[in-house]
Structure 1
Amino acid sequence: MAITVRGKNIEVTPALKDYVEKRVKKVTKYFENIGEITAVLAVEKGRHIVEVTVPVNGILLRGEEATADMYTSVDLVIEKLEKQIEKHKTKLTRKFRSGGFKDELVPAMAADAEDELRVVKTKRFAVKPMSTEEAVMQMNLINHDFYVFMNADTEQVNVVYRRKDGNYGLIEPEF
């Protein structure tokens, strides 16, 4: 398990790096197949922002917090990740109690961002088949408003999204 700690507008001291690594290891004790963990520490307009991404067993845990103190931000991010883990495990236990977990969840990543007509960022990710319900669960787990996934029933790329009324929508493109 590799932990990468990067600074953005801040020099990451050895003490701060050790603190982040120690706190992140607390979250990783729940899982076995952990990819490279990334922690980005940033200072913007007097706010100390910490973003931690943990790829685990095909899912992506992500937390971000901003406070006036970097150490407090780290602690709050870890609490947020622990809540995500508990929420995820509870949902999986309820949903798959009888049959067991059959398919791995796909890591969710944001789609292409547009700023007028200019593409400023492109992300690529592996798409694994899953049900619409599993895609909604993954979208909620990473706190995004949409999620691109391969629908296991239709074998087509679909998008689930959170509607303003609190319900969910499904986009099924026709090619």
Structure 2
Amino acid sequence: MQVEISGIHIPITEGIDEYIKKKLGKLNKYLHQVSSARIVLKVEKGRYLAEVNVISNGFTIHGNGVASDLYASIDTAIDKVGRQAKRHKEKIQSHRSRDGLKKVVSTSRNLSSDTQPEIVQVIRKIVKPMNADEAAIQLDLEEKIFLVFLNRDTNQVNVIYKRNGGDFGLIEPQL
């Protein structure tokens, strides 16, 4: 597992590094193929903020922690990631699905006309084949508002999104 730890206004000591790696090691019982983890530690107005992003088997789990103690904020963030990982493992086992790969490439482009809206980011993504139920589970685990996927049942690209009431909506394009 590749672990990247960075600090904003906080020096990353060897003790902090070892503590984080030990806590992340406990995630292996829920996530078998953790490819990377990125931890950002910040101090703002006397509070410590820890942001943890773990990439495993093609999906990202995110957790935040805020506390007056650095180690408590790390514990909170990694515990949130652990709960999401446990929930994901249970859902995957009950639905017996496999995760695929996704590739995100972002670029910035300038258009010559000032009157038209500008495309500031392009994301290229390998869409993962799954059914609508599996897509709902994946979207529920991610902190995003929509997910593009290849519907196994219709063999078409679909978009599932979160609605305000907590339910999901599904967009099935008709060509």
What's the TM-score once normalised by structure 2's chain length? 0.77
Which residue of the partner structure matches residue 58 of structure 1?
Answer: 58
Partner of 1:103: 98
Are positions 1:4 and 2:8 aligned together?
no
Q: Distance in 2 between matches of 1:118 and 1:20?
A: 41
Q: Which amino acid aligns with 1:136?
A: A
Which segment drifts farther, 29-38 or 75-84? 29-38
Find the aligned partners of 1:82 and 1:8 in 2 and give their Cα distance: 24
Distance in structure 1 (CA, Å) of the matches to 2:6 and 2:122: 21
Q: Which residue does 1:30 correspond to in 2?
A: 30
For 1:57-96, what aligned pairs fall within 5 Å after superposition?
57-95=57-95
Larger radius of gyration: 2
Residues 105, 134 of structure 1: 8 Å contact kept: no
CA–CA separation in structure 2 for the residues paired with 1:70 and 1:15:
12
What is residue 138 of structure 1 aligned with on the other side?
138
The count of residues paired between Structure 1 and Structure 2 equals 165
Structure-1 separation of matches of 2:21 and 2:59: 20
Partner SS, residue 11 of structure 1: coil
Q: CA deviation at 1:93?
A: 2.9
Give the corresponding residue for 2:160: 160
Query: Identity rate of aligned residues, in percent?
Result: 36
TM-score, normalised by the number of residues in structure 1: 0.77
CA RMSD of aligned residues (A): 2.8
Q: Which runs of 5+ in 2 are unaligned?
A: 108-116
Deviations 1:86-115 (A, max 9, x none): 2112222333xxxxx343255698x99xxx
Structure 1 unaligned segments of length 5 or more: list them. Answer: 96-100
